[in-house]
């Protein structure tokens, strides 16, 4: 899949997921600049910010997790990896 196709796939997935997140996630920022998404949201009173970079053959996520979620960082990373595989 090309980078452009991957970006469109991510955008479509985010859009499709909004109804499922209603009432659980407050999206404060979702800004695309080329292949880079800058995001900020609050879920379960936890504020998360970061970027998602869509490269030719990979996704790079850099998220700032609150202290309470840092102990689950490995599990979150694994879950995101599995979700990315479903996109491809």
**Which two tokens mark 48?**
């998360």
Helix (H, G, I), strand (E, B) or coil at 67: helix
**Which two tokens mark 80?**
């995101």
Q: Any idea of the CA torsion for 23, 19, 51, 81, to the nearest 10 degrees?
A: 110
Q: In what order do the strands lie in the sheet with 36-43?
A: 25-33, 36-43, 46-54, 59-64
Residue that is written with structure tokens 């694994």 in the block:
78
Q: What is the pLDDT of residues 43-88, one digit of tens each?
A: 888 899 999 999 877 888 899 988 888 888 888 888 887 877 776 6
Contact by Cβ (8 Å): 10, 35? no
Q: Model pTM? A: 0.81
């Amino acid at each position: 899949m090309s980078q452009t196709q991957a970006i469109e796939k991510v955008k479509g997935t985010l859009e499709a997921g909004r109804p499922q997140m209603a009432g659980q996630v407050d999206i404060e920022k979702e800004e695309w600049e080329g292949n880079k998404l800058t995001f900020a949201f609050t879920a379960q009173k936890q504020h998360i910010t970061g970027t998602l970079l869509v490269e030719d053959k990979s996704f790079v996520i850099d998220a700032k997790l609150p202290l309470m979620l840092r102990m689950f960082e490995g599990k979150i990373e694994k879950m995101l990896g599995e979700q990315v595989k479903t996109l491809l």
